[in-house]
Amino acid sequence: MKKLLSLLAVILLIFITINLSVMSADTAFYVFSAASLTDAMTEIANEFENKYPEIDLKLNFASSGTLQKQIEQGAPADYFISAGIKQMDNLENKDLINSRTDLLKNRMVVVGVSEMESEIKKISDLKKSVVKYIAMGMPESVPAGKYAKETLEFFGLWAEIQNKIVQTKDVRQALTYIDTGNSDLSFVYASDATVLEKGKILLEVPEKAHSPIIYPAAAINRSDNTEAVKLFSDFLQSKISKGIFSKYGFIIN
Protein backbone atom coordinates (compact mmCIF):
# COMPACT_ATOMS: atom_id res chain seq x y z
CA MET A 1 0.00 0.00 0.00
CA LYS A 2 2.87 2.36 0.88
CA LYS A 3 4.51 1.63 -2.47
CA LEU A 4 1.26 2.44 -4.26
CA LEU A 5 0.88 5.71 -2.35
CA SER A 6 4.51 6.59 -3.12
CA LEU A 7 3.94 5.85 -6.80
CA LEU A 8 0.80 8.00 -6.84
CA ALA A 9 2.70 10.82 -5.14
CA VAL A 10 5.44 10.66 -7.78
CA ILE A 11 2.87 10.67 -10.60
CA LEU A 12 1.09 13.64 -9.00
CA LEU A 13 4.37 15.52 -8.68
CA ILE A 14 5.20 14.88 -12.34
CA PHE A 15 1.70 16.03 -13.36
CA ILE A 16 2.03 19.26 -11.36
CA THR A 17 5.50 19.93 -12.78
CA ILE A 18 4.31 19.45 -16.36
CA ASN A 19 1.35 21.75 -15.82
CA LEU A 20 3.50 24.42 -14.24
CA SER A 21 5.87 24.20 -17.23
CA VAL A 22 2.97 24.62 -19.64
CA MET A 23 1.63 27.56 -17.66
CA SER A 24 5.06 29.19 -17.69
CA ALA A 25 5.34 28.73 -21.44
CA ASP A 26 1.97 30.40 -21.97
CA THR A 27 2.56 33.54 -19.87
CA ALA A 28 4.10 35.56 -22.71
CA PHE A 29 1.96 38.34 -24.16
CA TYR A 30 2.49 38.71 -27.93
CA VAL A 31 1.99 42.03 -29.71
CA PHE A 32 2.21 41.96 -33.50
CA SER A 33 3.08 45.42 -34.79
CA ALA A 34 3.68 47.04 -38.18
CA ALA A 35 7.38 47.59 -38.94
CA SER A 36 6.96 51.38 -39.06
CA LEU A 37 6.14 51.27 -35.33
CA THR A 38 9.42 49.59 -34.36
CA ASP A 39 11.04 52.44 -32.43
CA ALA A 40 7.88 53.78 -30.81
CA MET A 41 6.53 50.37 -29.80
CA THR A 42 9.88 49.22 -28.43
CA GLU A 43 9.94 52.25 -26.14
CA ILE A 44 6.29 51.84 -25.18
CA ALA A 45 6.85 48.15 -24.42
CA ASN A 46 9.69 49.05 -22.04
CA GLU A 47 7.45 51.52 -20.22
CA PHE A 48 4.62 48.99 -20.07
CA GLU A 49 6.85 46.28 -18.60
CA ASN A 50 8.20 48.73 -16.03
CA LYS A 51 4.62 49.31 -14.88
CA TYR A 52 3.53 45.67 -15.19
CA PRO A 53 6.67 43.55 -14.60
CA GLU A 54 4.56 40.42 -14.21
CA ILE A 55 3.63 40.56 -17.92
CA ASP A 56 6.23 39.15 -20.33
CA LEU A 57 5.55 41.27 -23.43
CA LYS A 58 6.95 39.98 -26.74
CA LEU A 59 7.03 42.19 -29.86
CA ASN A 60 6.87 40.87 -33.42
CA PHE A 61 7.58 43.42 -36.17
CA ALA A 62 6.96 42.89 -39.90
CA SER A 63 4.88 44.28 -42.73
CA SER A 64 1.17 44.42 -41.91
CA GLY A 65 0.40 41.92 -44.66
CA THR A 66 2.93 39.43 -43.31
CA LEU A 67 1.56 39.80 -39.78
CA GLN A 68 -1.99 39.34 -41.03
CA LYS A 69 -1.04 36.04 -42.66
CA GLN A 70 0.79 34.88 -39.53
CA ILE A 71 -2.30 35.56 -37.41
CA GLU A 72 -4.55 33.77 -39.91
CA GLN A 73 -2.22 30.77 -39.78
CA GLY A 74 -2.48 30.54 -35.99
CA ALA A 75 0.68 32.28 -34.83
CA PRO A 76 0.70 33.09 -31.08
CA ALA A 77 -0.68 36.64 -31.15
CA ASP A 78 -2.66 38.52 -28.52
CA TYR A 79 -2.78 42.01 -30.02
CA PHE A 80 -2.26 43.47 -33.50
CA ILE A 81 -1.44 47.00 -34.67
CA SER A 82 -1.59 47.38 -38.44
CA ALA A 83 -0.34 50.20 -40.65
CA GLY A 84 -3.25 49.61 -43.02
CA ILE A 85 -7.02 49.24 -42.81
CA LYS A 86 -7.14 46.43 -45.39
CA GLN A 87 -5.18 43.96 -43.28
CA MET A 88 -7.36 44.57 -40.22
CA ASP A 89 -10.52 44.35 -42.34
CA ASN A 90 -9.42 40.93 -43.59
CA LEU A 91 -9.00 39.65 -40.04
CA GLU A 92 -12.30 41.16 -38.95
CA ASN A 93 -14.11 39.52 -41.87
CA LYS A 94 -12.79 36.18 -40.63
CA ASP A 95 -13.92 36.93 -37.06
CA LEU A 96 -10.35 36.80 -35.74
CA ILE A 97 -10.30 40.14 -33.85
CA ASN A 98 -12.30 42.21 -31.40
CA SER A 99 -12.21 45.60 -29.66
CA ARG A 100 -10.95 47.30 -32.84
CA THR A 101 -9.98 50.96 -32.67
CA ASP A 102 -8.23 53.48 -34.95
CA LEU A 103 -5.10 54.27 -32.95
CA LEU A 104 -2.91 56.57 -35.07
CA LYS A 105 -2.46 58.41 -38.36
CA ASN A 106 0.64 59.10 -40.44
CA ARG A 107 1.89 60.96 -43.52
CA MET A 108 3.87 59.84 -46.58
CA VAL A 109 7.15 61.52 -47.52
CA VAL A 110 9.92 61.00 -50.04
CA VAL A 111 13.35 60.78 -48.43
CA GLY A 112 16.67 60.77 -50.22
CA VAL A 113 20.42 60.96 -50.03
CA SER A 114 21.95 64.42 -49.69
CA GLU A 115 23.06 64.46 -53.34
CA MET A 116 19.39 64.45 -54.37
CA GLU A 117 18.43 67.57 -52.40
CA SER A 118 19.13 69.99 -55.24
CA GLU A 119 17.47 67.71 -57.82
CA ILE A 120 14.14 66.81 -56.18
CA LYS A 121 11.85 69.80 -55.72
CA LYS A 122 8.55 68.33 -56.95
CA ILE A 123 7.10 64.88 -57.50
CA SER A 124 7.65 64.98 -61.27
CA ASP A 125 11.39 65.24 -60.61
CA LEU A 126 11.35 61.50 -59.89
CA LYS A 127 11.49 61.11 -63.70
CA LYS A 128 14.91 62.75 -63.89
CA SER A 129 17.73 60.58 -65.22
CA VAL A 130 19.84 61.33 -62.14
CA VAL A 131 17.37 59.25 -60.11
CA LYS A 132 18.33 55.60 -60.65
CA TYR A 133 16.57 53.81 -57.80
CA ILE A 134 13.40 54.51 -55.81
CA ALA A 135 12.67 52.14 -52.91
CA MET A 136 9.17 51.40 -51.64
CA GLY A 137 7.39 48.56 -49.88
CA MET A 138 5.66 45.87 -51.92
CA PRO A 139 2.18 47.33 -52.62
CA GLU A 140 0.48 43.93 -52.21
CA SER A 141 1.57 43.39 -48.60
CA VAL A 142 3.12 46.62 -47.31
CA PRO A 143 0.66 49.48 -46.65
CA ALA A 144 3.36 52.12 -47.20
CA GLY A 145 4.03 50.55 -50.60
CA LYS A 146 0.33 50.68 -51.41
CA TYR A 147 0.18 54.38 -50.51
CA ALA A 148 3.32 55.04 -52.58
CA LYS A 149 1.83 53.31 -55.61
CA GLU A 150 -1.42 55.26 -55.21
CA THR A 151 0.63 58.47 -55.08
CA LEU A 152 2.55 57.66 -58.25
CA GLU A 153 -0.68 56.71 -60.02
CA PHE A 154 -2.32 59.94 -58.84
CA PHE A 155 0.47 61.95 -60.48
CA GLY A 156 0.58 59.72 -63.57
CA LEU A 157 4.10 58.46 -62.85
CA TRP A 158 3.62 54.81 -61.95
CA ALA A 159 4.07 53.34 -65.45
CA GLU A 160 6.77 55.83 -66.42
CA ILE A 161 9.21 55.09 -63.60
CA GLN A 162 8.62 51.33 -63.17
CA ASN A 163 12.21 50.56 -64.13
CA LYS A 164 13.46 52.59 -61.15
CA ILE A 165 11.28 50.97 -58.48
CA VAL A 166 12.94 48.68 -55.94
CA GLN A 167 10.32 46.85 -53.87
CA THR A 168 11.14 46.03 -50.23
CA LYS A 169 9.70 43.57 -47.69
CA ASP A 170 8.58 46.41 -45.38
CA VAL A 171 8.83 50.17 -45.02
CA ARG A 172 11.87 49.96 -42.72
CA GLN A 173 13.89 48.24 -45.42
CA ALA A 174 13.01 51.08 -47.80
CA LEU A 175 14.26 53.51 -45.16
CA THR A 176 17.47 51.55 -44.60
CA TYR A 177 18.24 51.66 -48.32
CA ILE A 178 18.75 55.42 -48.01
CA ASP A 179 21.14 55.23 -45.07
CA THR A 180 23.12 52.43 -46.75
CA GLY A 181 23.23 54.17 -50.14
CA ASN A 182 21.34 51.38 -51.93
CA SER A 183 18.66 53.74 -53.20
CA ASP A 184 18.52 57.39 -54.26
CA LEU A 185 14.99 57.95 -52.97
CA SER A 186 12.45 56.09 -50.85
CA PHE A 187 8.76 56.42 -50.07
CA VAL A 188 8.34 56.09 -46.29
CA TYR A 189 6.18 57.43 -43.49
CA ALA A 190 7.02 60.75 -41.88
CA SER A 191 7.47 58.83 -38.63
CA ASP A 192 10.18 56.65 -40.23
CA ALA A 193 12.08 59.73 -41.37
CA THR A 194 12.65 60.72 -37.72
CA VAL A 195 15.24 57.93 -37.39
CA LEU A 196 17.12 58.57 -40.65
CA GLU A 197 20.87 58.75 -40.09
CA LYS A 198 22.13 60.08 -43.44
CA GLY A 199 19.16 60.95 -45.62
CA LYS A 200 16.51 63.62 -45.24
CA ILE A 201 12.95 64.44 -46.25
CA LEU A 202 12.90 65.90 -49.76
CA LEU A 203 9.15 65.93 -50.46
CA GLU A 204 5.96 65.73 -48.44
CA VAL A 205 3.23 63.81 -50.26
CA PRO A 206 -0.17 65.55 -50.31
CA GLU A 207 -2.85 63.57 -48.48
CA LYS A 208 -5.19 63.78 -51.48
CA ALA A 209 -2.77 61.58 -53.47
CA HIS A 210 -3.46 58.39 -51.51
CA SER A 211 -5.87 56.62 -49.18
CA PRO A 212 -6.02 57.82 -45.55
CA ILE A 213 -3.12 56.42 -43.50
CA ILE A 214 -4.73 54.94 -40.41
CA TYR A 215 -3.26 52.49 -37.90
CA PRO A 216 -6.03 50.27 -36.52
CA ALA A 217 -5.41 48.16 -33.40
CA ALA A 218 -7.33 45.16 -32.10
CA ALA A 219 -7.25 42.19 -29.75
CA ILE A 220 -6.99 38.70 -31.22
CA ASN A 221 -10.07 36.58 -30.48
CA ARG A 222 -8.20 33.41 -29.59
CA SER A 223 -6.04 35.14 -26.97
CA ASP A 224 -6.33 33.84 -23.41
CA ASN A 225 -4.47 36.86 -22.01
CA THR A 226 -7.66 38.87 -21.47
CA GLU A 227 -6.33 40.93 -18.57
CA ALA A 228 -3.03 41.73 -20.32
CA VAL A 229 -4.91 42.76 -23.47
CA LYS A 230 -7.05 45.19 -21.46
CA LEU A 231 -4.07 46.65 -19.63
CA PHE A 232 -2.05 47.04 -22.84
CA SER A 233 -4.94 48.53 -24.80
CA ASP A 234 -5.49 51.11 -22.06
CA PHE A 235 -1.76 51.83 -21.87
CA LEU A 236 -1.66 52.66 -25.59
CA GLN A 237 -4.14 55.45 -24.85
CA SER A 238 -2.14 56.76 -21.89
CA LYS A 239 -0.28 60.08 -21.76
CA ILE A 240 3.03 58.18 -21.75
CA SER A 241 2.27 56.28 -24.96
CA LYS A 242 0.81 59.31 -26.72
CA GLY A 243 3.95 61.27 -25.90
CA ILE A 244 6.14 58.53 -27.38
CA PHE A 245 4.01 58.24 -30.52
CA SER A 246 4.17 62.01 -31.01
CA LYS A 247 7.95 62.02 -30.49
CA TYR A 248 8.34 59.61 -33.40
CA GLY A 249 6.13 61.65 -35.73
CA PHE A 250 2.82 59.80 -35.47
CA ILE A 251 -0.45 61.69 -35.38
CA ILE A 252 -2.70 60.77 -32.45
CA ASN A 253 -6.15 59.87 -33.74
Output the pTM of the full model: 0.83
pLDDT tens per residue across span 38-75: 999 999 999 999 999 999 999 999 999 999 999 999 99
What CATH number should be reported for the domain holding residue 185? 3.40.190.10
Final residue of a domain: which of 209, 224, 239? 209
Work out how many domains the chain is built from and give that number: 2
Residue 49 shares a structural domain with residue 90: yes
Tell me: do 114 and 98 sit in the same domain. Answer: no
Distances (CA, A) of 52 to 29, 44, 47, 137, 228: 12, 12, 9, 35, 9
Query: Which residue range is the domain that position 173 belongs to?
Result: 108-209
End residue of a domain, out of 190, 209, 228: 209
Is the domain of 127 the same as that of 93? no
**Helix/strand/coil for 57:** strand
Q: Tell me: do 96 and 9 sit in the same domain.
A: yes
Co-location of 61 and 133 in the same domain:
no
79 and 25 assigned to the same domain: yes
Q: List 201's β-bridge partners, or say none.
A: 111
Shared domain check, 40 and 26? yes
For 233-248, how does the pLDDT look when each residue is reduced to its tens digit (9 = 90+)? 999 999 999 999 999 9
pLDDT band at 25; cut points 50, 70, 90: very low
| Helix, coil or strand: residue 222 | coil
Is the pLDDT at 5 greater than 90? The verdict is: no
The yes-or-no verdict on residue 177 having pLDDT over 80 is yes
What's the confidence (pLDDT) of residue 3?
52
The mean pLDDT value for 176-191 works out to 96
Q: Virtual CA dihedral for 89, 212, 35, 46, nearest 10 degrees?
A: -90
Residues 14 and 84 in one domain: yes
Tens-digit pLDDT profile for residues 108-153: 999 999 899 999 999 999 999 999 999 999 999 999 999 999 999 9
> What average pLDDT does this structure show over 193-216?
96
Taking phi over 0 as left and psi of -120 to 50 as alpha, with beta for the rest, 12 belongs to alpha
